[in-house]
Structure 1
């Protein structure tokens, strides 16, 4: 099964709450991943919060064209238990 993001919610401090198609839900901290030409602009909290689910890519993307592979996001995820949701 190809990995893809099915739900996204922005949190504080460049964190995302993500759900994947295998049912795993957790938090990804991107504060250390916002470097390089495409990602440095996302250090602006207003732009970062403009994230959207991109069903064609199966991941998340931003208006400036930045996107992250779902496998990369999955490797960073800190799963949350059902009680924490």
Structure 2
């Protein structure tokens, strides 16, 4: 099992992206746009809702109020270092 650094913060950015900061000191940008389809994940298209993103306990991932979430390995592997 691959271990990933823990999230220390998540900040919504323009263009449906999230700035992720990790306990390793890394800063990465994750593009949420490919996930924003269908009725459930489509709720993320509303900017005020998208901006409600929060970290899961222990820095293991992110979620939104209605339960949409993205796994920690996807966040890390599919994000771009900045």
Q: TM-score scaled to structure 2, two decimals?
A: 0.82
The runs of 5 or more residues in structure 2 that have no matched partner are none
SS for the counterpart of 2:9 is strand
Aligned-residue RMSD, C-alpha = 1.8
Q: Which digits, 9 at most, give the CA deviation of each residue in 1:40-85, with x for residues without a partner?
A: 11111110000011115711110011111010011111101xxxxx
2:70 is matched with 68
Given candidates 58, 61, 68, the residue that maps to 1:59 is 61
**SS of residue matched to 1:72:** helix
Q: How many residues align?
A: 80
What's the CA shift for 1:33? 1.6
Bigger helix fraction: 2
> Which residue number corresponds to residue 48 of structure 1?
50
In structure 1, what is the Cα distance between the partners aligned to 2:30 and 2:48? 18
Moved runs in structure 1, 4+ residues, more than 3 A? none
Q: Which residue of 1 aligns with 2:27?
A: 25
Question: Any conservation in 1 of the 2:7–2:59 contact (CA below 8 Å)?
Answer: no
- Partners of 1:39 and 1:57 lie apart in 2 by 21
